[in-house]
Structure 1
Amino acid sequence: MKRTFFCTAASLLLASAAAAQAPSVAGLWQGGIQVAPTNELKAYFDLKGTAPVLTGSMSVPQQTGKSFPLSSVVVRHDSLLLGAEALRGRFAGKLSADGQQVAGVWYQNGAQLPLTLRRTTEQARAAAAPRRPQTPQAPFPYQSQNLTFPNKQAGFDLAGTLTLPTGKGPFPAVVLVSGSGPQDRNETILGHQPFLVLADYLTRRGFAVLRYDDRGVGQSKGTFKGTLTTDFTTDAQAAMAYLRTRADIRPHQVALMGHSEGGAIVWQTAAQPGGPDLAVSLAGPGLPGDAVLLRQQKDIARAQGADSAAIGANFRLNHALFAELRRQPASLPAVELAAKLAAVAQQQPGLAAATAQQLAGIYSGPWMRAFLTSEQASYLAKVKCPVLALNGTNDLQVAADENLPAIARGLQAARNRDVTTRALPQLNHLFQTDPAAKADYGNIEETFAPAALQIIGDWLSAHTGAKGVAGR
């Protein structure tokens, strides 16, 4: 018993001594994560306490105003280890002798990115926050209602915001549908809120605008994981059906406006009974999903400085994977599909087995599988309502020069005579002015090009007779 007590006491003394010798890391730290050759994200780590009891949070103002709690903060001798489970990331670095710098690596989703942290101040963080001059500020010359509406088919409620012009209704209305990934009602990305900007502009021009959180996001019920584009289409249908029950909305002047994947949702919705009276696609696809992604991969790689050989090798790899995916029946279980895709990938020279498995897992997932095999032409051929389709010439995600002609061809098959397609010069996927075509969304102050807003507003007004005032 005496020996046990002595060992325990000695361990406690050693632990206390180590804690006492551990350098203080409390305070605000900042470093740049180079996520692409032309895109650096400034990350801030706010650490509190004294070793071994340390806590902290992480923020990336270019992406969001939120802070994420760190799951672990550990100091071992001259090493700093940070865990960020909420972001599936971690940091490991070595403290400098003066305790003013930590040189290390940020690990996230298989990537290993150099990251050097340096002490900074709250004032410096506030000064570095990106400017978003187009974000609307109160007071607003219109009404705003937070509400819920049912998706009866799916069995849950969606939550959103409806803005209503001043004056006597009923008003023509617009439903905004977001792009891929879990999006809130403002389609918030890198500090930008394009749907908030759109809603503000259109409401000032005399339109009621409904924007809503994706299912499983924000205040909306339901589950986002595993949801397909066809499921999101039922959410858009529910939004339109709700608006048509309101006395302050013109039931035969309800437009559906979708961005990116939201454009595909517009086509699917407009091809069915009870669809929109007007359809607006913003950077929406017209090509099959696999063709969209192959072009996207090439354009982004070129913008990031990849050479022709690397771009060609990547094209051959993914073209082979997509061809194999299309050869397999839709009923094939995801696990079996992943195995077949991995086998194809491993035939490519120089590709690591782990990379092959990772690609196979991504492409066999429910949403990606459905997207890659999607055929927009089958929906476009059934769209009879007036259509406005806009894409930016500097869009690296949905190329205007291929997708806009495909949209036009599909609508010709429907014998649709009221179609406007426009490629907007120098605009990127978010409709920001981006002359260099680098898709550096977070570092561009503009949220939505005013010229694009005017084109949308003018087209909607011409089709509805709305006579609001666009100016602020």
Structure 2
Amino acid sequence: MKTSSLLTLALGGLLTTTAAVAQTANGPAGTWQGSLKLPSGDLQTVFTLAGTTAALSGTLSVPQQGLKDMPLTRAVLRADSLYLTLTPLEARFIGRFSPDQQQVSGLWQQGGAEMPLTLTHGAAPAKAALRRPQTPKGPLPYQSQDVSFSNPKAKLSLAGTLTLPKGKGPFPAVVLVSGSGPQDRNESILGHQPFLVLADYLTRQGFAVLRYDDRGTAQSGGTFADATTADFTTDAQAALAYLRTRPDIRPAQVALIGHSEGGLIAWQAASQPGGPNLVVTLAGPGLAGDAVLLRQQQDIGRAQGMDTASLGEMRRVNGALFAELRRQPVSTSTEALTKLLVARVQQLQPQVSSEEAQQGVAQLTGPWMRYFLTTDVATYLQKVKVPVLALNGAKDTQVAAAENLQAIEQGLKSAGNRDVTVRSLPGLNHLFQTADTGAPQEYVGLEETFAPAALEAIGTWLKTHTSGK
């Protein structure tokens, strides 16, 4: 797959050619809807824009995945082009208006993928709900409680759901920690609710399970936008501490299961006092953040048909930018870092304008991305002494199974941890669904939410490490 700009591939941005076309007096305020054409079917997107041309704002809704009115980070109308950015999703849309101003045609970019998207002015038609047969349906053979607990370090309250098996207890317990982006307690994505399915399975196996909304998301307090992985780790620590105060929980048998970025959170929590008694990582990183992201971009691009030359150029530019970012002290301001990276882009790709380069590097200078790219997982693995189960899907294109599992195993065992199990599960993707290519575009079309083989692997390991104790 070729694109018109190498910066598009290198920085995950979308660049379009603009022309001097007169803007309408009222600007683009209103509802704009369109569909992303995925291999598995159409995914409806609805943007609602408000304000004037000079001060535009808006929201994104994706009905099929349960996303409703997520505020846009940035909405800009420039000449004949519309720029929409959603930093929490690491996504953006850039499109060009039709002469009658009733359509905007352009590209949607997210997670290394690019897809054509045309938005039409007007109300969005309703879409049928996707089939998700694993979603639990009542009546359920266990208790479910809405709970809240505080994070005293961050001075915020987190909301979640605690499921408890039948009987008096006390029970062994599990805290579920989600991956990157603002996630609700069910880790809802594209109509799937992986954590709801996982919690249901484990509770039926005799475990109490706590899952919670990320800070600043759904019913939890705090602010998500400026938080880093280290901040989210304090939330997980608060969840562990809360469970250990309950008389129906065994305080010495509290596990932490982290998915994707949640795996890094698990390593950080387990390397500190008061951490989990057991750790399960699901597609958790074992390598430094920049290495994980460079490999992710290559795997996703290849799965989507990107040509070898473009893949090579993407790695060349991003590798240089990530290295530059690593060299900078933490005290470097966002403004100074942006200026430095823009200059580096223009050195590597002289054809790219300063404005285009600024748009491209913006996602690299945010607090979360900057922290993630410069974090080395090995630092934490050396301090993890509790039993560990690390699982990856063999077709994962977001966190490559082989190299990350190898790094996890070597890092833990070299530090003296002898209770380490690593497994690559054949045929599964980043969400632990049975997949074809493993590309993110497949997620929405798969009816399976969580492969039974993965559920069984988690449940069996936890039972082995909590029974008879």
Rounded to whole Å, the distance in 2 between the matches of 1:171 and 1:465 is 11
Q: Offset at 1:421? A: 0.3
Contact 1:339 1:360 (8 Å CA) reproduced? no
Contact 1:172 1:249 (8 Å CA) reproduced? yes
Structure 1 residues 350 and 424, CA gap change in structure 2 (3 angstroms): farther
Task: Give the equivalent residue in structure 2 for 1:371.
Answer: 372
Rounded to whole Å, the distance in 2 between the matches of 1:156 and 1:292 is 31
Q: Offset at 1:136? A: 0.8
- Please say if 1:33 is aligned against 2:33: no
For the residue of structure 1 that corresponds to 2:64, the secondary structure is: coil
Contact 2:36 2:115 (8 Å CA) reproduced? no
For the residue of structure 2 that corresponds to 1:148, the secondary structure is: strand
Rounded to whole Å, the distance in 2 between the matches of 1:345 and 1:397 is 25
For the residue of structure 2 that corresponds to 1:287, the secondary structure is: coil
Task: Give the equivalent residue in structure 2 for 1:217.
Answer: 217
Structure 1 residues 422 and 112, CA gap change in structure 2 (3 angstroms): closer
1:71-470 matched pairs, under 5 angstroms: 105=105, 113-115=116-118, 125=126, 128-349=128-349, 351-353=351-353, 354-439=355-440, 440-465=442-467
Q: Offset at 1:442? A: 0.8
Task: Give the equivalent residue in structure 1 for 2:64.
Answer: 62
User: Cα deviations across residues 4-48 of structure 1 (Å, max 9, x unaligned)?
Assistant: xxxxxxxxxxxxxxxxxxxxxxxx9985324x67774234799xx
Structure 2 residues without counterparts, runs of 5 or longer? 1-30, 49-58, 73-80
Contact 1:143 1:165 (8 Å CA) reproduced? yes
The one-letter code matched in structure 2 to 1:33 is: L
Of 252-261 and 83-92, deviating more is: 83-92
Contact 1:91 1:107 (8 Å CA) reproduced? no
* Identical columns (%): 60
The one-letter code matched in structure 2 to 1:339 is: K
Alignment TM-score, normalising by the size of structure 2: 0.80
The one-letter code matched in structure 1 to 2:149 is: F
For the residue of structure 1 that corresponds to 2:398, the secondary structure is: coil
Structure 1 residues 39 and 382, CA gap change in structure 2 (3 angstroms): farther
Structure 1 residues 58 and 340, CA gap change in structure 2 (3 angstroms): closer
Q: Offset at 1:347? A: 1.3
The one-letter code matched in structure 2 to 1:131 is: R
Structure 1 residues 114 and 408, CA gap change in structure 2 (3 angstroms): closer
Rounded to whole Å, the distance in 2 between the matches of 1:349 and 1:91 is 24
Contact 2:381 2:412 (8 Å CA) reproduced? yes
Q: Offset at 1:120? A: 11
For the residue of structure 2 that corresponds to 1:62, the secondary structure is: helix
Alignment TM-score, normalising by the size of structure 1: 0.79
Of 106-115 and 287-296, deviating more is: 106-115
Which protein has the larger Cα radius of gyration, Structure 1 or Structure 2? Answer: 1
Contact 1:33 1:114 (8 Å CA) reproduced? yes
Structure 1 residues 238 and 159, CA gap change in structure 2 (3 angstroms): same
Q: Offset at 1:64? A: 2.0
Rounded to whole Å, the distance in 2 between the matches of 1:58 and 1:289 is 28
Contact 2:303 2:437 (8 Å CA) reproduced? no
User: Cα deviations across residues 140-170 of structure 1 (Å, max 9, x unaligned)?
Assistant: 1100110110111111111110000001200
Q: Offset at 1:349? A: 3.1
The one-letter code matched in structure 1 to 2:36 is: I
Structure 1 residues 30 and 323, CA gap change in structure 2 (3 angstroms): closer
Rounded to whole Å, the distance in 2 between the matches of 1:367 and 1:390 is 24
Rounded to whole Å, the distance in 2 between the matches of 1:167 and 1:229 is 36
The one-letter code matched in structure 2 to 1:234 is: T
Rounded to whole Å, the distance in 1 between the matches of 2:123 and 2:145 is 41
The one-letter code matched in structure 2 to 1:269 is: A
Contact 1:432 1:444 (8 Å CA) reproduced? yes
Structure 1 residues 67 and 132, CA gap change in structure 2 (3 angstroms): farther
